[in-house]
Amino acid sequence: MSDSNNPPKEAAAGSSGPRFNISTPSNVGRSYVNNSPVFPGYGSGTNAANAANAANATSANNANNVTNPTVATNATAQSDTTDSDCVDPSDSLGIHPQRMPDGHHFDKTIPLLIQPDSLVSRTYPLLHRVIAGRLRTSLALRGGRPVSRCSHKYSLGASRMIQKKYRPDSHCFQMNVRREPSRSRKLDENQKAEERLAGMCKRLRRTVRLSGRIGSGGFGTVFLAHKHTPNGQANFAIKVQEHNTIATMEFVGQTENEMMFFEEGGNVRYIPREAMIMLLLTRSPRFPTLHSVYTEKDKIAIVMSACMDYDTLQLSEAMNEWDNAWAVEGFHLRTPTKKPRLNELEACKVSTQLLEAFAYLRDMNLTYDDLSYRNYLVGENLDTELIDFGLMGFGLNDRDFMNPFYTYLFWQEYQLPPEVAVELLKPERRKQVRETPGGIVHVNCRNDTRQTALWKYAVEVFCLLHGYAPWEDPKYDRAIGTVGDFAVKIINNRYKEPHESYDQGKRWDAAYARRKRMINEELAVREDLSQDCVDALRTMLQRDPEQRPRLSELTSFPWFGQWAYHIDRLFERPDIPRECFERR
């Protein structure tokens, strides 16, 4: 059983997706390279020819160099001459090639896994081959453009007149600048967005035109941006978030957000883990493409491709950075009255592409732990992208993915698995949820995080096909809404649940009734679905977690991929009423 969650044996460096046992028609398949746009660099002169040359260079060099990436070859790195960083050959960067890292820590393990002679690479040669190959391919496709681009420099202390200055993404700045974590989380949504925009790299701000705010939350604000190039208008999504150095996060005892990245030539930069993951995903169209990172002293801007409708991009010409620029999320594919907007074949396309994304991540021993209807975007042709890589699981072996408890969050009630529902029905747990601020409770329920992620995926597939969650009452009641948002109210323009309403009222009664159905009743599915679809749903959503399929088994189900046989059909996303966007 454990081997089924390891990277598939047939996976190779730079592989372009899951190896489904179903046979997709050859004229439907598309090259991931052709679908990964290489955006022109700011002032770099990069154009389509550069992209073509980079792609050619990749095919020629990848085979020879996949196990020999351009990185520092030992535990030290030469001085970063671009900003006179205080790293010299005698300074340790915390990289010990002949030691086995803690498998949970992606940021500590990846710098070792891309070195062919490290102990972890020799122990896990296939994982090294996949990750090193994908990173080399990504850098080749960039045509020499640096990843981290903000060149502003700052002193390390108060005596600014006499000290050297360093880039915020440098090793010296990250290890020596320590301050209180950003106060942005104490502000409301609009205040956070304003502060983040003010802290964005000024060079980036002058280079692009912002024309809308795609979304904003506790950990970042995403703006729609444009830049005119010789090849036309390039469109970007720019995620701006707080920058807390390695020293700051270690001081407060929290996991670092930044990780080490070796530029070509050996220069050491620190970029967000999310950006590093996106670099490794460059060849897959199931994810946004990373353009660059701009690290300022207080804020970080991650520039990536934008999954936006053509009409939205046209309207953005008359918009400013504070106008709403709406992207179509999975949430919009169901109506507020519990009706699906997609038919079975259309839902099959979206579901299959999400599964492709999961399989592409699994090749690198990564799991997507934060799947919800807000974390994937759907284009006009139902092409789907998984977004937001802030919560990712990583491990070297099965033990690294075992979690002794399940974290229950009340706004994820619709994704609740039956084994956790059993625990939450206990009177003492109900009291605990009611009295816990934020409604976040750790439930003693040992689980494999890879399987937990697949359960969330199965719930999303069910919702796409039904318009409501598994075991939810299909009848719409305005006073209850749907279990996907039953615990959410709008208070002062923010989505939250007042403390006094936890675990009380008609909506919570509906939630508890659903939990009991999860334990005592078989899953009810639509009668008009195909047998392959019904079999997939019932198998993925079995109440016994030991009987649920692993990812390697799931990709062989005949229902997934069936949309690809309808090559004569134009897939087109249904129109989404404007009020559905305003509701979110």
Q: Which residues are annotated as a binding site for ATP?
A: 239
276 exposed, middle or buried (CB, 10 Å; 0-12, 13-18, 19+)?
Answer: buried
**CA angle in degrees (0–180, nearest 5) for 551-10-112:** 90
Contact between residue 142 and residue 54 where contact means Cβ atoms under 8 Å apart: yes
Output the DSSP codes for 283-341: T-TTSPPEEEEEE-SSEEEEEEE----HHHHHHGGG--TTSB----BGGGGB-TTS-BS
Q: What are the residue ranges of helices labelled H in 66-152?
A: 106-113, 119-123, 125-141
The encoded tokens of residue 270 equal 């620190």
Q: Classify the phi-psi angles of 73: left when phi > 0, otherwise alpha if psi is within -120 to 50, otherwise beta.
A: alpha
Binding residues: 239
Residue 188's H or E segment, with its range, is none
Cβ count within 10 A of residue 544: 8
Helices (H) then strands (E): counts for the chain:
18, 19
Residue 40 vs residues 222, 228, 312, 353, 406: alpha-carbon distances, Å: 20, 10, 22, 27, 44
For residue 405, what is the DSSP state? S
CA distance 556 to 549: 10
CA distance 367 to 264: 28
Contact between residue 174 and residue 247 where contact means Cβ atoms under 8 Å apart: yes
